[in-house]
Amino acid sequence: MNILTILLRIEWLKAAKRRIFWVAIGAFGLFTVIRAVIGIYMASTIPDVDFTLPERWPDILGAVSGFGPLFTAILMILLFAPEFSWRTARQNIIDGLSKEQFFTGKVILLAGLVLLFMAVAVLVGVSSTMFSPGESGSAIFRPNDLSYMGGIALGMLIYGSFGLVLSTYLRSSGSALGVLFLYIIVEGIIPLLTLRIGSRTLRDAMEFLPFKVVENLGDNLAYYPAELLEMNPMRPELDLVPLGSPDIGIHVIVALAYIVVLLGLSLLNLRKRDL
Amino acid sequence: MDNLSVSTPDTDLQDQASTSVNVIQTLDLTKRYGMRAKKSVLAVDRISFAVKQGQVFGFLGPNGSGKTTTIGMLVGIIMPTGGSFRLFGNSDSRGLNAARARVGATLETPNFYPYMSGRDNLRIVAAIKGVNRSRIEECLALVGLSRRAKHRFKTYSQGMKQRLALAAAMLNDPELIVLDEPSNGLDPQGIREIRKIIHTLAKRGKTIFLSSHLLVEVERTCSHVAIIRDGRIIKWGPVAEMVGEGNAVLLRSEDIEVLAGAMEAYPDATSVRRTDDGIVVALDSGDLASVTRYLSERGIYLSLLAPHQPSLEEVFIDATGETTDSMTGLAA
Ligand SMILES: Nc1ncnc2c1ncn2[C@@H]1O[C@H](COP(=O)(O)OP(=O)(O)OP(=O)(O)O)[C@@H](O)[C@H]1O
Ligand SMILES: [Mg+2]
């Protein structure tokens, strides 16, 4: 067997027996279902609104972009960090994995979680439209639905890499979760502080803080310009500034850079510390 | 201390390298924990020894002497801060990774996924080691865990955990088995079983490296021993040679105190120790006639004079000048 397949199998054996793994997948599915139920309910009560695919992907995926990344980070920490207190990380190496292979296993786990969450979202989306009124379009996905899914997946990978790096450095799920939430709060506060300083470049830079990048990548307006065109003409009448949308291209590059840096830091730490 | 194997590591290592295969070989291997000079601990201090194929090598030392740290470096989870070592002749990281596929090891406590059954835990080890599933059942049976294999690891008793660790170490039928305090937490029956397993493995030509703070365990199981204290090896060699070393005699007379006092003044005596049977005197030479003459001149007549074979415990006390209260252990 190929080494990547073996690593995947090992991570699967570890995760599949954890109750928290199934609870997290279930909760993720439930949240997505709730969003779909709201959509179906609105479609059945408001005339002119249908709950059909592919038209309603922005709503379903929009919900996933909200809680998906945080879910990924938390689950990553819960699955990975205890390996240090159980000393199974140590035993895996003693049993014959190299540190690099052990780390690769965790990256595979992260990618697997993201794929799994996406699969759940698609499954919920597709099955829920069967219960809703209205004709579905001919194709299930349009190109921008797929790009949106890619953007959300990138966001999940950033959060997940964050969870991975915190797990390797702190080696305890409690402190890793603590620092994760602390950082989320801090990242929320920093831009407010820079507002007072008022440097424009600084404020622009705030758009590229890690979790802000995730938020921007999850902004559905960026993927569906038609909606932007539809909404903006009405806004001046309501005394609102026109909506803009983030430039996805540059955000994808920044996101990839974050992922590479986070995973790199994690590997370095794992390599140089005793287990 | 004398003619015996107070090792001069360099020449020893060279000798052994040329004569037969060294499974483990360390050269000035060193580990200092912590970077700041004040707080750092020199856990292992330039130790050199070699383990040859087929040996049952005991790594004997009191708590905190550096046994686990040394093994940790050999199995790749602790980075040495100095010196080097070879496993099956390999010292580069690539070669070491490959060599570790031929090793089965336990370190300190048994480390397993608490929420998984014993069998599922071994399944993970089997996946890492690339061995067949049928081997899992064999190893479970070997350590007597078959019946409880479906229960979760966290429900196991200390002894069962230790057995599972042994099963995991043997899973890939390794050439070298490294066991860190294998009898920790086992009852006398369990200790006997482990000893039996080790003997069986040794008979099949496996090399076994086991650490212990129990003298009796090492004396009964091992062919070779290295005594380590404060991170330094103070003595190493074949157990038989070590316990056969020197000219010690057991003496008894009516008044033990007078006898002991006289022997302490005897020029040829290197040490005098009181035991339940009498006194044990280590002599520089084997000249017993002089001893009896010396004593009779002082009006002391012996009721017993017998050659004395020192135990490993005595060797240890001789070498370290320490008591062994923490190390005698009530083994089976
Ligand atoms: N991670 C660590 N950080 C700092 N010091 C450590 C660490 N691990 C071990 N030490 C120190 O290194 C020394 C040797 O410890 P080690 O665990 O190797 O001893 P040992 O011979 O295995 O003892 P025992 O019989 O108690 O298992 C001790 O002084 C210990 O405190
Ligand atoms: Mg130890």
pLDDT in tens, B46-103: 999 999 999 999 999 888 999 999 999 999 999 999 999 999 999 998 899 889 989 9
Which range, of A189-203, B31-45, B279-293, averages the lowest pLDDT? A189-203
Structure tokens at B106: 């336990």
Q: Kindly determine whether residue A9 and residue B123, on different chains, have CB atoms separated by under 8 Å.
A: no
- Ligand 1, atom 30, residue with closest C-alpha: B64
- CB contacts of A98 in chain B (<8 Å) are 97
Q: What is the mean pLDDT of chain B?
A: 85
The SS3 assignment for B20 reads: coil
Beta strands in chain A, from DSSP E residues, in sequence order:
none
Give the separation between CA B177 and CA B98, rounded to whole angstroms.
15
| Atom 12 of ligand 1, nearest CA residue | B43
Work out the pLDDT band at B166, boundaries 50, 70, 90. very high
- Please say whether the beta carbons of B165 and A95 come within 8 A: no
Could you list the beta-strand ranges (E) of B62-110.
82-87, 103-106
What domains are defined for chain B? 9-243 (3.40.50.300), 247-309 (3.30.70.920)
Mean pLDDT throughout B291-309?
87
Residue B312 has pLDDT above 90, yes or no: no
Q: Which helix (H) or strand (E) holds B56?
A: strand B56-60
Selecting from B77, B106, B115 the residue whose C-beta is nearest the C-beta of A17 gives B115
Minimal C-alpha gap between B17 and chain A (Å): 26
Q: Is the C-beta atom of B77 inside 6 A of ligand 1?
A: no
Per CB-CB distance under 8 Å, the chain A contacts of B129 are 95-96
pLDDT for the residue A136: 56
- Give mean pLDDT, residues A224-253: 75
Longest dimension (CA), chain B: 76
Choose which residue among B31, B32, B33, B39 to substitute to test ligand 1 binding: the one with the highest number of ligand atoms within 8 A of its C-beta: B33
Tokens of residue A262, six digits: 């986070």
| Residues A163, A78 contacting (CB under 8 angstroms) | no
Provide the whole-model pTM: 0.85
Q: Which of A6, A94, A97, A268 is best to mutate for the B interface (most B CBs within 10 A)?
A: A94
**How far apart are alpha carbons B85 and B28 in whole angstroms?**
8
Could you tell me if the ipTM is greater than 0.85?
yes
Cis peptide before A54 (omega within 30 of 0): yes
What stretch of H or E contains B235?
strand B232-238
Query: Which of the four pLDDT bands, split at 50, 70 and 90, describes residue A100?
Result: very high
Question: Are B77 and A90 an interchain contact pair (Cβ–Cβ within 8 Å)?
Answer: yes
Q: Is the CB of residue A33 less than 8 Å from the CB of residue A129?
A: no
Unique residue bearing structure tokens 């060294």? B22
For the Cβ of B221 lying below 6 angstroms from any atom of ligand 1, the answer is no
Tokens representing B189?
């029956």
User: Which H helix or E strand runs over B280?
Assistant: strand B279-283
Q: Tell me the C-alpha distance between A226 and A233, whole Å.
A: 12
Q: What type of residue is B35?
A: M
pLDDT of residue B14: 45
Residue A275 at interface with chain B, using a CB cutoff of 8 Å: yes
Mean per-residue pLDDT for B315-327?
Answer: 65
Q: Answer for the pair A174, A85: CB distance below 8 angstroms, yes or no.
A: no
Asked if residue B4 has pLDDT above 60, the reply is: no
Q: How far is the CA of B63 from the centre of ligand 2 (A)?
A: 7
Computed over every residue of chain A, the mean pLDDT equals 87
